[in-house]
A and B are shown apart, each in its own frame.
Chain A
Amino acid sequence: MTGVRVVDVTKSCGRTCALAGVTFGAGPGVTGLLGPNGAGKTTLLRMLATVLAPDSGTLRLLGRDPQDTGDRLEIRRRLGYLPQEPGFHRGFTVFEFVDYVAILKELTDRRARHDEVRRVIDLVGLADVADRRIRALSGGMKRRVGVAQAVLGDPDLVVLDEPTAGLDPEQRLRFRDLVSRIGEGRSVILSTHQTEDVAALCPHVVVVDGGRVAFDGTPGQLTSMARGRVWLAPERAPAARIAWRTAEGDVRNVGDIAPPGAQVVLPTLEDAYLLLVGDRARGVAA
């Protein structure tokens, strides 16, 4: 079996509850994990990457139980992981750093390992800077180094925590291309703040809010939840939960009920997401 199955998983962080009974499943392809800051996305992804163990609930990765020592080892052999803030040994070159991770991934045959390192560096378009020290790379290039190490050994499950954070629009488009290629034939779990990334990449989306799953379905299903609840008006409507003035000068209102006579427009994924998580997503919409 491929993919991920999470059933009623909980995790505490001190006195607060980071995850309060999360349940969802993900098969082959790219699954987008959306949610406001502090929703529990990173905690969830760290569990999917076998870095943290759940306090309770059932977690199955690639059909195996990560709490079992033997299963966990097998999962880690088939797992690729890009943390939210991947750290690098800045004195290493790109090749040396990816090789370092390849050693940790138990690619023991040196020739095969170096071939694999060159392959993934080439895959992310960094072949020309493979000998450059990481400290000399731009933020976008470092992100690509992070992705390169995540796809070492052709893993069956790839966990990417906010891979597009801090990237400029062109770099984000490159990333979409890269992630969509990675998602062909394997399970990719992608956490992001960007609804555009989900709309562009993910046939499956899970919205996490307050440590719980607020939505689990397709982007189309999520978008349809906002049908009839988004309208344009000259001013902010009192009934709107969230409203902002667009570049055209109208105010786009997102709320429970469009007032009579309002100019109702087709919702976007972002509208639906804002409706779902409300004020906690204001920072994302800005």
Chain B
Amino acid sequence: MSWHIDEPTLARYVAGEASAAVAASAEAHLTTCTDCRARLAPQVNRRRLDAVWREVDDRVQLTGRPWLERMLARGGVGAGPARLLAATPSLKASWLGSLAGAVVFAVVFAGASPAGLLGYLTLAPMLPVAGVAAAYGRFADPAYELAVAAPYSMLRLLLIRSVAVVGSTVVLTSLGSLALLDRGWTAVAWLLPAFALSATTLALSARVTPVWAAAGVLTTWVALVLLVRRADDADLAAFGAAGQLVALAVLVVAAAAVVRQRPAFAYDSRRSA
């Protein structure tokens, strides 16, 4: 190497004060000159270098990321949680599309007759439960076994995915409910049962797989709605004030059960070999 960058130029380059032409020339030289790189290294601001690297890494990573991860990142969700959410089957476009289809169908059906409205109110809380069942566990997550053996809290993973799934489902279903506003508050009478059933599914997932938990919860839910309807001889009896209070109580008990059973989420929920 016949020449080296002089000290004042190197200092201006490190401070970011060199002109574009000088900076480009310095960079071209630095790629081939170990002496100048050695003189440069102690002067580099490590924090600034890390920030630059993070920005470059962000941009490179962002371009190829799945659409959901890109959206979450733009919404301010950290890269780690965004990647964990992007792997959630019930947040995939295909799932959400099917969900939207089910909501549209149920809303159209609901507008046709009182029995249709009962169908809508019964179906709406089932959708987030199905989403929770498909968010986590051996049957839903292909990398579930790796996740169980990792130090990341399984309960935390289950909760962040469930919150995202229940949130997105509730938003979609609420949009459907806008078409039923002429029915008054009844149009949103599914909301509290939806949270209660989702929380119950989570609580049962400490003991059985989420799919079995959801199957049990949904079967019980449909049976209860039909039993209450027959007992009270009124289509929407299960969604009255008493029903809402019961749903609230179930929600509280299920949330407490999730907290109490935290250690049980540390192992494979199937339990057997």
Measured CB to CB, the residues of A under 8 A from B are 11-14, 18-19, 40, 42-43, 46, 49-53, 69, 72-73, 76-77, 79, 81, 83, 86-93, 96-97, 99-101, 103-106, 108, 110-111, 114, 131, 149
For A114, give the chain B residue with the smallest CB separation: B57
Measured CB to CB, the residues of B under 8 A from A are 50, 53-54, 57, 61, 64-66, 79-80, 83-84, 86-87, 141-152, 157, 263, 266-268, 271-273
Q: Which of B66, B142, B145, B149 contacts A76 (CB 8 A)?
A: B149
> Which chain A residues border B143 with CB–CB below 8 Å?
86-89, 97, 100-101
The SS class assigned to the A binding surface is mixed
- Is B145 in contact with A100, judged by CB distance below 8 angstroms? no
> Which chain B residues border A77 with CB–CB below 8 Å?
151
- Is A43 in contact with B273, judged by CB distance below 8 angstroms? yes
- Is A104 in contact with B150, judged by CB distance below 8 angstroms? yes
Can you list 11 A-B contacts (CB < 8 A)? Answer: A42-B273, A46-B145, A53-B267, A87-B145, A92-B66, A100-B83, A100-B84, A103-B80, A104-B147, A104-B157, A111-B57
Q: How far is the CB of B180 from chain A (nearest CB, A)?
A: 36
Q: How far is the CB of B146 from chain A (nearest CB, A)?
A: 6
- Is B273 in contact with A86, judged by CB distance below 8 angstroms? no
Indicate whether A13 sits within 8 Å of B54 (C-beta atoms), given known contacts A52-B267, A69-B263, A81-B149: no
- Report the bound CA distance from A93 to B263 in whole Å: 33
For A91, give the chain B residue with the smallest CB separation: B66
Q: Which of A19, A50, A92, A105 contacts B152 (CB 8 A)?
A: A105
- Is B54 in contact with A111, judged by CB distance below 8 angstroms? yes
- Is B273 in contact with A13, judged by CB distance below 8 angstroms? yes
Indicate whether A110 sits within 8 Å of B54 (C-beta atoms), given known contacts A14-B272, A72-B266: yes
> Which chain A residues border B157 with CB–CB below 8 Å?
104
- Report the bound CA distance from A110 to B54 in whole Å: 8
For A17, give the chain B residue with the smallest CB separation: B273
For B88, give the chain A residue with the smallest CB separation: A89
- Is A106 in contact with B152, judged by CB distance below 8 angstroms? yes
- Is A103 in contact with B84, judged by CB distance below 8 angstroms? yes
- Report the bound CA distance from A186 to B271 in whole Å: 29
- Report the bound CA distance from A277 to B61 in whole Å: 51
- Is B151 in contact with A96, judged by CB distance below 8 angstroms? no
> Which chain B residues border A93 with CB–CB below 8 Å?
64
Q: Which of A13, A69, A73, A105 contacts B272 (CB 8 A)?
A: A13
> Which chain B residues border A76 with CB–CB below 8 Å?
149-151
> Which chain B residues border A92 with CB–CB below 8 Å?
66, 86-87
Given contacts A105-B152, A111-B50, 15 further A-B contacts (CB under 8 A): A11-B273, A43-B273, A51-B148, A51-B149, A51-B267, A76-B151, A79-B149, A87-B144, A91-B66, A96-B83, A100-B84, A103-B80, A105-B150, A110-B54, A149-B146
Q: How far is the CB of B120 from chain A (nearest CB, A)?
A: 33
- Is B145 in contact with A110, judged by CB distance below 8 angstroms? no
- Is B83 in contact with A103, judged by CB distance below 8 angstroms? yes
> Which chain B residues border A96 with CB–CB below 8 Å?
64-66, 83
Q: How far is the CB of B151 from chain A (nearest CB, A)?
A: 4
- Is B146 in contact with A81, judged by CB distance below 8 angstroms? yes
> Which chain B residues border A100 with CB–CB below 8 Å?
83-84, 87, 143
> Which chain A residues border B146 with CB–CB below 8 Å?
81, 83, 86-87, 101, 104, 149
> Which chain B residues border A14 with CB–CB below 8 Å?
272
